[in-house]
Amino acid sequence: MQKKRNYINGVLVEPISGNYLDNYHPSTGKVYSLIPDSDEQDVELAVKGAQEAFPLWSTLPTQKRSALLIRLSELIEKNLEKFAIAESIDNGKPVWLAKTVDIPRAVDNFHFYATAALHQSTETHSMGDVALNYTLRTPIGIAGCISPWNLPLYLFSWKIAPALASGNCVVAKPSEITPMTAYLLSELAIEAGIPAGVLNIVHGLGTKVGSAIVAHPKIQAISFTGGTKTGEHIARVAAPMFKKLSLS
């Protein structure tokens, strides 16, 4: 049985606990791979890697960040067939749908935000003859990205790409039901040369990994797509910590 690994601080690693979850083939109901049953220890390790990477990534010239993310989008496109088949097997959707919607959209997400970052501008507002107020946008730190099962790579990339393009580091959790293309993405992140610690992908249950991401004091922003009850819980935990929230 093939075991997948977490992507933490630039390398693929086993879960610290050594425990795994069954990943089921939806058309047969049979287990076809194993994914890490991670917990707060793995999240802590990912956050540490992101903290170490943030000073370099946040100050890297935008053109260089953009080039790396464009490279990642090109690699996904190059492997479109592989990603589409993996998405179909994992999620149960038709291969043609994954090939025409899910994977191309993930390519577009990385490419769009990589190029959009090159065109950011600073706004100024006149105070008459007294002064100029200006808006300076800077990276805030580490973003926690938690995505759902139904559009696995599409929505995963929609969260990760803008966070990375704007100079933030990411600790992300794909759905434990459809983790395969997120794992393939981690392999391509290594191939693309994304610096260690910039993107971390931690597999596991929402009650363990998701909760640890939301509650971690060093993660300054949370992007979550999923159930209303879960979103309500995330808001209750994250709002008192003054985290930036995007819930959908």
Per-residue confidence (pLDDT) for residue 137, from 0 to 100:
83
Question: Checking phi first, is residue 205 left (phi over 0); if not, alpha (psi -120 to 50) or beta?
Answer: beta
Domains contained in the chain, CATH given: 6-118+135-247 (3.40.605.10)
Whether residue 20 contacts residue 105, with contact meaning beta carbons closer than 8 Å, is answered with: no
Whether residue 181 contacts residue 4, with contact meaning beta carbons closer than 8 Å, is answered with: no
Per-residue confidence (pLDDT) for residue 6, from 0 to 100:
98
Per-residue confidence (pLDDT) for residue 134, from 0 to 100:
86
Residue 133: in which H helix or E strand, if any? strand 132-135
Per-residue confidence (pLDDT) for residue 46, from 0 to 100:
98
Per-residue confidence (pLDDT) for residue 135, from 0 to 100:
85
Distance in angstroms (rounded) separating the CA atoms of residues 146 and 176: 11
- Give 232's contacts (C-beta < 8 A, 6+ positions apart): none
**Could you tell me the mean pLDDT of each successive run of 10 residues in the chain, 248 residues long?**
94 98 94 97 98 98 98 98 97 96 98 94 84 88 97 97 98 97 98 98 98 98 95 94 92
Per-residue confidence (pLDDT) for residue 128, from 0 to 100:
86
Where would I find the H helices in the chain? 40-59, 62-78, 80-91, 95-97, 103-116, 152-165, 180-192, 211-215, 228-238
Per-residue confidence (pLDDT) for residue 122, from 0 to 100:
78
Block residue for tokens 């998405």: 87
Per-residue confidence (pLDDT) for residue 120, from 0 to 100:
82
* C-beta neighbour count of 196 within 10 angstroms: 17
- Give 138's contacts (C-beta < 8 A, 6+ positions apart): 58, 167
Per-residue confidence (pLDDT) for residue 240, from 0 to 100:
94
